[in-house]
A = this chain, B = another copy of it.
Amino acid sequence: METDMNAPLLAGGASDASEPPPRLPEGPVIGIIGSGDFSRSLAIRLVAGGFRVVVGSRDPSRVPRGLFPDRAELRSQREAADSAERVVFAALYPEHYHTLVGLREQLAGKVLVDVSNAAGLNRREQSNAERLAELFPKSRVVKGFNVVSAWALQTGAHDGSRQVLVCSDCSDSKAAVLQLARRLGFSPVDLGGLCASGDIEEAPLLLFPSWGGPMLATFLLFLFFYGYNFLRQVLLPYLDRGQNNFQQLPLVTVNQTLPAVALVTLAAVYLPGLLAAVLQLTRGTKYKRFPDWLDRWLCGRKQLGLLSFLCAALHAVYSMCLTLRRTAGQAAQNAADRQVKAAVGNSLVEQQVWRSDLYLSSGILGFGVLTLLAVTSLPSVGNTLNWREFTFVQSGLGYAALTLSIMHTLFFGWDFAFSPAAYPFYLPPVYLLALVLPCAVLVGRTFLALPCLTSRLTKIRRGWESARHRPPNTQETTEVDPLRACGDI
Asked if residues A328 and B357 are in contact (CB atoms below 8 Å), the reply is no
Asked if residues A321 and B320 are in contact (CB atoms below 8 Å), the reply is yes
A417 within 8 Å of B (CB atoms):
no
- Which residues of B sit under 8 angstroms from A484, Cβ to Cβ? 149-151
A444 within 8 Å of B (CB atoms):
no
* A36 CA / B352 CA spacing, docked (Å): 57
Asked if residues A12 and B86 are in contact (CB atoms below 8 Å), the reply is yes
- Which residues of B sit under 8 angstroms from A382, Cβ to Cβ? 160
- Which residues of B sit under 8 angstroms from A117, Cβ to Cβ? 387
Asked if residues A353 and B13 are in contact (CB atoms below 8 Å), the reply is no
Asked if residues B341 and A328 are in contact (CB atoms below 8 Å), the reply is yes
A118 to chain B, nearest CB (A): 11
Asked if residues A360 and B24 are in contact (CB atoms below 8 Å), the reply is no
- Which residues of B sit under 8 angstroms from A35, Cβ to Cβ? 479
- Which residues of B sit under 8 angstroms from A140, Cβ to Cβ? 21
A20 within 8 Å of B (CB atoms):
yes
Asked if residues A386 and B480 are in contact (CB atoms below 8 Å), the reply is no
Q: Which of A174-182, A218-226, A227-235, A275-283 faces chain B? A: A174-182
Which of B92, B110, B328, B346 is in CB contact (< 8 Å) with A352?
B328
Asked if residues B86 and A11 are in contact (CB atoms below 8 Å), the reply is yes
Interfacial residues of chain A within 1-40, with CB under 8 A of chain B in the complex: 1, 3-14, 16-24, 27-30, 34-39
Which of B16, B349, B383 is in CB contact (< 8 Å) with A109?
B16
A172 within 8 Å of B (CB atoms):
yes
Which of chain B's residues has its CB closest to A353's CB? Answer: B247
Asked if residues A357 and B325 are in contact (CB atoms below 8 Å), the reply is yes
* A476 CA / B58 CA spacing, docked (Å): 10
Asked if residues B388 and A205 are in contact (CB atoms below 8 Å), the reply is yes
Asked if residues B314 and A330 are in contact (CB atoms below 8 Å), the reply is no
Proximity string of chain A (451-489) to chain B, C-beta cutoff 8 Å, 1 when within and 0 when not: 000000000001100000001001111111110111100
Asked if residues B108 and A18 are in contact (CB atoms below 8 Å), the reply is yes
Q: Which of A185-193, A259-267, A294-302, A429-437 faces chain B? A: A185-193
Asked if residues B151 and A482 are in contact (CB atoms below 8 Å), the reply is yes
* A23 CA / B17 CA spacing, docked (Å): 28
Given contacts A189-B48, A349-B330, contact A12 B151 (CB under 8 A): no
Which of B95, B159, B389 is in CB contact (< 8 Å) with A383?
B159
Which of chain B's residues has its CB closest to A7's CB? Answer: B4
Asked if residues B11 and A173 are in contact (CB atoms below 8 Å), the reply is no
- Which residues of B sit under 8 angstroms from A99, Cβ to Cβ? 475, 478
- Which residues of B sit under 8 angstroms from A273, Cβ to Cβ? none
Which of chain B's residues has its CB closest to A108's CB? Answer: B18
A333 to chain B, nearest CB (A): 8
* A342 CA / B326 CA spacing, docked (Å): 13
Proximity string of chain A (289-325) to chain B, C-beta cutoff 8 Å, 1 when within and 0 when not: 0000000000000000000001001101111111111
Asked if residues B485 and A150 are in contact (CB atoms below 8 Å), the reply is yes
